[in-house]
Amino acid sequence: MKQYILNGACQEATQWDGSDYKIQHGEIITQVTNRKIRDNLFRVESDKRIVQVSQSILERYFDVYGGD
């Protein structure tokens, strides 16, 4: 799946239990789902947490890092 790197200020994400999570500048995330209707899920590479990141945040603050 695609990888992205946060190229801006820390951003909010949501964990499975509904709690907030802050993704820090320079953090790499890997897409783990490919949803058409709801936001995709991503694995934060530093601690392997699964979070939901909105498409608008992804497009605005993240750059493609790698992946296939």
What range does the domain containing 14 cover? 3-66
**Number of domains the chain contains:** 1
What do you get for the CA distance between the two ends of the chain, in Å?
Answer: 6
5-63 pLDDT, tens digit each? 999 899 999 998 999 999 999 999 999 998 888 889 999 999 999 999 999 999 999 99
Closest residue by Cα to residue 5 from 56, 46, 63: 63
What are the helix (H) ranges across 1-68?
55-61
Stated pTM of the model: 0.89
